[in-house]
Structure 1
Amino acid sequence: MHPTPFQTKSLWAAITSLSFLAVGASVLLIGSLVVGAISFLQPVLTPIAVAAILAFLLEPVVRFSMRLGLSRLISIILVYLAFAAFFVGLLVYIIPPAYRQGNTLVKNFPGYMQKTQALTTRTFENLHRLSSLDFLRSDQTDQPANEQLSALVSQSIKDAGNWVQQKIPDLAVESGRFLQRSLGGFLGVFGLLLSMILVPIFLFFFLKDSASIAENWSRYLPLRASPLKNEIVSLVGEINSYLISFFRGQLIVSLIDGFLISVALLVLGLDFAILIGLMVGVLGLIPYLGMMICYIPAVIIAAAQFGDWTHPLIVTAIFILANNIDGIFIAPKIVGESVGLHPLTVIVSVLAWSLILGGLLGALLAVPLTATIKVLLKRYFWDRPASPSSRIDSPA
């Protein structure tokens, strides 16, 4: 007895559904195992990732030195010396004042919150007095509502200030734990020191053998010459272009943003301008969120230092102007549209990968990993032509 056409279709539908479920379960299982392995090996992978990112950034400098007639080894040594001089300059001229400003900011932050609260309360009192003038008010019915609004906002700001003051010690502890997880892992301080030693070693070999790796890596694939191997090589090359364009471009963009904001805040006379600019330069590697994180303390400091709303508005305008200069002039020229991710996608990806991989490693690799997923989806799903059987025939 042969099955009916309906039974055949139902059977194939069931088999297809089970196949999709099996493939999905396998992908989830493999993904969870990979994420678990990455989390466990984070103390080892973090220095490798940092060294690889630095190699991406410094490779053009090495090639430029080689075009001047120097050997690759001499070029790498010169790059190391220049990088060491830059690092020593940071330690001597930038890090100490930034460290002192950071300590002062932590100590004075409760006072800044109190001054900001007082400024906000005074502003609403002035607005209330202005609304009570005879030539501005139309009737007396709005006065209780104004008083309630002023009291509500004042109490909300007071509660927020008290909450921030209570959470500052916890925030410091959590920041320390975050850095420990990101940079040292279960090895603690020893892991951090080991990472600082391993990064230059990994970086040296990445720079020394980068040309050989780029030319010969495909030979080490455990595959014979076939269309599948060619497809893998092409796919990895496309993903590699995403990584190069992102890390090189984003670092230059973040450094330019940090310099512009630092100079503008120094001209404004804002306290901790160098520290805020340095934070923008470092956290700018995390797109969008880095500048948002630096904007909040800058506005609070401006409100507390100058005691008016004009300077916080100027600080806001500085950040908006720097972001627009970045988005209109700098980023398209340096980063280009090669990554091609929407800003909301970037923000969500940074938050998601920070939770999945944990700490600094997830935040740094968020955009490249998301761009990799985009390459896979675009290559094999979005841009894939429909098969003839899946096309809908037009009516005759």
Structure 2
Amino acid sequence: MKIQWDRQYLKYSLYASIAIILPIVFFQVLDNIGILLGNISGSFGWVRRVLSPFIMGGFIAYILNPGVRWFEKKLYSEVKYINERKTLHRFVSILTVYVVLLGFITTLLIFVVPQITNNIREILRRVPEYDRITRNWLANWENDMGLDNLYNIAEYIEKNSKDIFDTASQVLEYVLNNIVTSIMTVTSGILNFVLAMIISFYMLSDKESFKISSEKFLRAIMKDETVDRMREFGKEADELFGKFIIGKSLDSFIIGVLCLIGLSIMNIRYGLLLSTIIGITNMIPYFGPFIGGVPVVIITFFDSPMKAFWVTLFVLGLQQFDGLFLGPKILGDSVGLRPFWIIFAIVVGGGLSGVLGMFLGVPIFAIIRLMVLRFIDEQLERKKIKKLDNTL
């Protein structure tokens, strides 16, 4: 007997089966999401470990490339013997940048890092003294203001002051341990560092070859118009990101040096450590100067309230000099973002990746803005509408 199949019935049965199976699969995925993410994370971690010399080498090459270009165009182009030999021209420029970089790193490791480590150790040793000074000052302030036992203010302030010093001590110990650990484990990562330096050298030597090969590959799989737009966007994004990173680093380094000179003149204890804090936090737009200025003033206050007052004025003046003169001279309008979007990028970046996100959030958001503007311009051009000003 031949069975007659009802196609309409089969279709509805298939839909019903899918409607039942999909939720089951979905809930199974949710139930095992931790295992799946763990496996994916483990796989990416293995790939990252294998490719870490290439990733590090690419980053080093990207950071050093502006320096290589400068030596090629500004310095060695004036030397006839070197300029006439293209290979030698590139090699000498790269070698000069590497000598400057290694000299800078060596100076930091020999002179700066040990002194900063000793400063942190001394501050940790003096934390109980700072706590005692704070308690005495608060007690005297309460007596002068006649606030004894009013709403348990004394107990509340003492408890919170202890928590603040405990937290500060833990942060300083964490920083110190990381510095010591980094110094002790540098030999374990020396091979990756050497490989990254070698890889970055060849990347810088053959950067035109990499660029041409990449463009040929893209033109083989994409339309020429699309590749041209990608190349234009990549050039603008590279200029934006590179100018911000390198310009902000140079700006913060100069501010750190000026801060060290000023604190040394005022005979402020822990001048190198405090200047380093100012220089590093200055990398964060808008909020950085305030983040760095607060601990600097607090640490100085325990040695001398009057010195803390002068340090406050000096740091504020240094920040004004940076914001009104030095920063615009070095950076200009490097990212093209309105203050609102800069603050937005810092807050979101900080929420996602901490301090590093606060710094990188601005250039990354600027690149996203550039992508959005390019997309809007293309759509307006397609609809034959006049392009709008880039006011985003």
TM-score (norm 2): 0.69
- Give the C-alpha shift of residue 214 in structure 1: 5.1
Cα deviation for residue 118 of structure 1 reads 3.3
The correspondence of residues 91-130 of structure 1 with structure 2, limited to 5 A, is 91-123=109-141, 125-126=143-144, 128=145
Provide the residue aligned with 2:207 in structure 1: 210
Report how far residue 333 of structure 1 moved: 1.3
- What is the percent sequence identity of the aligned residues? 20
- In 2, Cα distance between equivalents of 1:157 and 1:342: 40
Q: Considering only aligned residues, what root-mean-square deviation do their CA atoms show, in Å?
A: 4.1
- 1:42-64 per-residue CA deviation (whole Å, 9 max, x = no partner) reads 65286246414532452344323
1:74 and 2:92 aligned: yes
Residue of structure 2 aligned with 1:381, choices 365, 376, 382: 376
Q: Decide which of 337, 353, 364 is 2:333's aligned counterpart.
A: 337
What is the aligned partner in structure 2 of residue 246 from structure 1? 244
Name 1:158's counterpart in structure 2. 158
- The one-letter code of the counterpart of 1:159 is K
- Tell whether 2:316 aligns with 1:320: yes
Q: 1:161-189 CA distances to partner (integer Å, 9 max, x unpaired)?
A: 31133335653676589899xx9xxxx87
1:371 aligned partner? 366
Alignment check: 8 A CA contact 1:125 1:150 kept? no
> How far is the alpha carbon of 1:218 from its aligned partner?
2.5
Shifted more, 332-341 versus 39-48: the winner is 39-48
One-letter amino acid of the counterpart of residue 100, structure 1? N
Please tell me the residue identity of whatever aligns with 2:302.
A
Matched, 1:58 2:58: no
Q: What is the identity, as a one-letter code, of the residue corresponding to 1:112? A: Y
8 Å CA contact 1:266, 1:273 repeated in 2: yes
Alignment CA distance shift 1:173-1:383 (3 Å): farther
Q: 1:385 to 1:215 in 2, by over 3 A?
A: same
Q: Alignment partner of 1:271: what SS?
A: coil
Matches within 5 A, 1:4-19: none
Shift of 1:262: 1.6
- Are the structure 2 counterparts of residues 275 and 235 from structure 1 closer, same or farther at C-alpha, using a change threshold of 3 Å? same
Change in Cα spacing, 1:229 to 1:382, as seen in structure 2 (3 Å) is: closer
Secondary structure (helix, strand or coil) at the match of 2:221 reads: coil
Seen in structure 2, the aligned counterparts of structure 1 residues 173 and 275 have a Cα distance that, compared at 3 Å, is closer
- Unpaired runs of 5+ residues, structure 2, are 1-36, 83-88, 387-392
Amino acid at match of 2:194: I
The one-character-per-residue Cα deviations of 1:83-131 (angstroms, maximum 9, x if unpaired) are 22232222333222222112212222342243244335545655x3xxx
- Does the aligned pair in 2 maintain the 1:47–1:199 contact within 8 Å? yes
TM-score by length of 1: 0.69
Q: After superposing the two structures, state which structure 1 stretch, 290-299 or 333-342, moved more.
A: 290-299
Q: Could you say if the C-alpha distance between residues 189 and 375 of structure 1 is closer, same or farther in structure 2, counting changes exceeding 3 Å?
A: same
Q: What do the CA deviations read for 1:294-336 (whole angstroms, capped 9, x no partner)?
A: 2222111121001x3x433322222222221111111111111
* Larger RCO (alpha carbons 8 Å, 6+ apart): 1
The amino acid that maps onto 1:241 is: E
Instruction: Flag structure 1 segments of 5+ consecutive residues without an equivalent.
Output: 1-31, 129-142, 392-396
Query: Which residue identity lines up with residue 267 of structure 2 in the other structure?
Result: G
Amino acid at match of 1:370: F
Matched with 1:4 is none
1:174-323 equivalence runs, <5 A:
192-213=189-210, 217-221=214-218, 222-306=220-304, 308=305, 310-323=306-319
What is the letter of the counterpart of residue 375 of structure 1?
L
Kept after mapping to 1: 8 A contact 2:68/2:93: no
Distance 1:364 1:37 in 2: 28
CA deviations on 1:266-301 (whole Å, 9 max, x unpaired) are 222221111111233344334345433422221111
List per-residue Cα deviations over 1:319-361 (Å, max 9, x = no partner).
Answer: 22222111111111111102023455445434534554x5776
User: In the TM superposition, what are the counterparts of 1:345-360 in structure 2 within 5 Å?
Assistant: 345-350=341-346, 352-353=348-349, 356=352, 358=353
In the TM superposition, residue 259 of structure 1 has moved relative to its aligned partner by 1.2
Q: What is the one-letter code of the residue matched to 1:59?
A: V
Count how many residue pairs are aligned between Structure 1 and Structure 2: 334
SS at 1:261's partner residue?
helix
| 1:166 partner amino acid | D
